Structures are given as structure tokens and as C-alpha cells.
Chain A
Amino acid sequence: MSEKKTIRLIVTRQDRPDSAPYEEEFEIPYRPNMNVISALMEIRRNPVNAKGEKTTPVTWDMNCLEEVCGACSMVINGKPRQSCTALIDKLEQPIRLEPMRTFPVVRDLQVDRSRMFDSLKKVKAWIPIDGTYDLGPGPRMPERKRQWAYELSKCMTCGVCLEACPNVNSKSNFIGPAPLSQVRLFNAHPTGAMHKAERLAAIMGDGGLANCGNSQNCVQSCPKGIPLTTSIAALNREATIQMFRNFFGSDEV
């Protein structure tokens, strides 16, 4: 009979956050229309490596399975992307899976993206709408601007831009492109704009906007096509104005 088609995967594994990483090869049966996640599920179902030895199932993170949550990001054949939309038929084999090492590795392909959520808190990436009384409806947003802002709002905090950025690493405290672009999004909102100066102050602090080195890997890598470098340049302009305002301006808030 015809030989059964298989998929070869080389997974970079790590047992504990502080243990050394190692590679393990897997060979799993092929099915049509598989993605990296279904391949990992196959390993989980039958955790046997390519040498036929029994091993532990590979750990990874996932949630929505439709590229909107950002949880299943990993480095696939050298490029960071979501494993849910990484289709086996479109990948060169052996498929190499690695964790996004810019973040602390929890286990195998699972990383801790807490720093991104901390950054969102730091830059106040929200619209304050709560008061002690009914604040009423906010100002309207022009439709054209809403459509533009929608593109920026597609950010799913997946971490791909931080992984691609040469200036986000253990030697630097740069917060990275994603939270910066969120500052532009929330400053563009008519109600959010009330906190514009606070957000700018946050990104004009240590590890902020100025640490961008313009390698522009982020905009090339963003799975959502967010114009990250345009956001950064636009914020640079805002920061320039804010800088002069802070120094020469009046004490008016």
C-alpha cells in the first residue's frame, strides 16, 4: 500500500522556567487542513517522539483559535506568528517551533506576556467613562476617524512586535511597539483625549518612546497589519510638541 504521509516537527522544549532548553523531534500522521495547533494536539494525544520514545506532551498557550486573542504566538520556522493561523500545508518541513524568548518561558512553547499587560496599565490604555454620577453620552467620533482607529484597535497584545524588535531585550527596558500604538489609539478617542498628556508623560519616561531605534521590524511582523511605525513617528511628533509645551508652556493643565 502507499506510504502514510507524516509531518516532521522540531520543538524547542524547556521543562521549567529556569532549566535549559532542548530540542525534541516529532513525526505525526498527516491529515488535510492541519494547523500547528492541531499538530501539537496530535502530540498531546500520543506523546511519543520521532525516536519512538514516550515523552511529556508539549505545552503551549491558546485560546480563540481565530487569530484575535494573541495567546498562541510562537516562533514558527524562525518567524514569530500565531500557531492557529499557521497552516501545515504552507510550512516548510521539518517545522521548527520555538517559544518567543523575548518573554520569560514558562514551559516549552508557553511564555509569560505579563510585561505587555503591565505596559498597557502604565500608559493608561483605556477610556475612563466611570463617574460618581451619570456622565451622559460622550462626544461623537467622525466615522472616517472611527474606521482609522479600528485598525489600531486590532492589536491583540500577541507579542510578535516585541519579539521582532532588536531593542526589546534583557539589556533594555523598552516597552516595545504595541503599547505605544495603543497610546495613539486612546489619545485619538474624543473622551480618551482628556488623558492625552498623562499617556504622553508615561511614554516620555524611561524605557518609553525614545528607545525606538527605527529598525521597523515591528510593522513588517505585525499579524494584524497595524501601522506601528507610523504610530511611533506620530507619537514622536506629539512628544516633541509636548516637550516644548512642558518646558516653555504655561502652567495651564
Chain B
Amino acid sequence: MAGNREFFYRRLHSLLGVIPVGIFLTQHLVVNYFATRGPEAFNRAASFMANLPFRYFLEIFIIFLPLLFHAIYGLYIAFTAQNNVSRYGYFRNWMFVLQRLTGIVTLIFVTWHVWETRVQAAFGAEVNYEMVANIVDNPLMLAFYIVGIVSTVFHFANGLWSFCVSWGLTVTPRSQQIFTYVTMVIFVALSIVGIRAILAFA
């Protein structure tokens, strides 16, 4: 095993993207959706999440450490690829490039988003409806958030597809094809959830 870590890191990267990061993302988007029921509903849900027992433990081990590893190792993976869609314009090759591109966009978006919300909360700001409403009051920021959400959801949905291949769940071309449809439905569905939620703040 020693000096032979690449396999382990790659598999860990694939696993962490789904469990826990992907699950957290889904949960986060669902909680945000409370905003469509008005500021009160959102504030109740947000304060419920913020007051979960063992909050710091959960944040560190369910969100930040897995996210950090996934992001840093993912950057390494993205920059070791030599993209060649101009020569090989196949569907899966496009998805390969988009996965790397959305990964980088997502990293920029999430870093900004964490700075604006969680870090500000650590400095004493209160995370509530008003905080997000103030952010997306600026149409440029709203556009940035929509791009960020769609990019994150795409990266998750398409990542779910490659997770299934990387762990040997979908082996046959047929199962991989069907799973392409399944993950694209997940992409569209979660995008609608995410965009409707952010528009509820605007």
C-alpha cells in the first residue's frame, strides 16, 4: 500500500463527492426551498439547521474536510487532463470536459458563498432570509448564484454517473446509457429546486 496511494485517493475522491458532499448539497437545496414559503419558513428551517447538536463536529466532518479534499484533489485531476473535444466531439468526452469545468466554477462559487455566509456568521452576522436577500439584491450576484447553483448541481449529477462507473455499479453500455438519463433528470430536477429557491430571495 505504501507509496501506492493514487488508487486510494481517486476512490476516496469519488466517494466523498457523493457521500457526504452530494448528500449535503441535496439537503442544503431542500432546506433553501423553504424560502419559497416565505421568509418566516426559511428562517425557521435555517435556525433549525444552525442549532443542530454537535454543529461544529458535523460541519467539519460532514462538510468542510470532505469538501476540501474533494476540491483540492479534483483540481489536480482537472489539470492533469489534456482536453481534446475539438478532435473527439463525442457526448461522453463533452461531459468529461464539462465535469472538470463545472468543478472549477463550483469551487470558485462555493468559496465565495462560504465567505459570504458561513465566514460572516463566524464574525457575528446572522444567517437568515435577509442576509441572502441582500446578496441577491444585486442582479450580477443573482446571476452569479444561478450559474453557481446550476454548475454545482451538474457537477453532482454527472459525478453520480461517473461514481457508478468508477465503483463498478454500472458496467454494461446499456446500464451506463440509462444512468445518463437518470442523472440528467436529477440535474434538471435539482436545478429547478435550486433556482426556484434563490429566486424566492430576489
Contacts and interface: CB of A to CB of B under 8 A. Distances in A.
A91 interface: no
Nearest to A235: B168
Interface string B166-200: 11111111001000000000000000000000000
Contacts of B83: 166
Given A171-B82, A233-B170, A236-B167, A215 B92 contact: yes
A200 to B, nearest CB: 10
Nearest to A164: B88
Contacts of A204: 4, 7
Interface residues of B, number: 33
Nearest to A237: B168
B165 interface: yes
Given A166-B83, A169-B82, A220-B90, A213 B96 contact: yes
Given A166-B96, A207-B6, A233-B171, A220 B166 contact: no
A217 B167 CA distance: 20
Given A213-B77, A233-B168, A208 B6 contact: yes
Interface residues of A, number: 37
B7 A217 contact: no
Interface string B3-27: 1111100110000000000000000
Nearest to B79: A171
Contacts of A227: 173
16 contacts: A166-B81, A206-B7, A213-B81, A214-B92, A215-B95, A217-B90, A234-B168, A234-B171, A235-B168, A236-B165, A236-B168, A236-B171, A237-B169, A237-B171, A238-B168, A240-B167
Interface of A: 78-79, 164, 166-167, 169, 171-172, 204-217, 220-221, 227, 229-230, 232-240, 243
Given A206-B4, A209-B7, 17 more contacts: A79-B87, A164-B88, A166-B83, A169-B80, A169-B81, A172-B80, A206-B3, A210-B10, A215-B90, A215-B95, A217-B92, A220-B88, A227-B173, A233-B171, A236-B166, A236-B171, A237-B168
Interface of B: 3-7, 10-11, 77, 79-84, 87-88, 90, 92-93, 95-96, 161-162, 165-173, 176
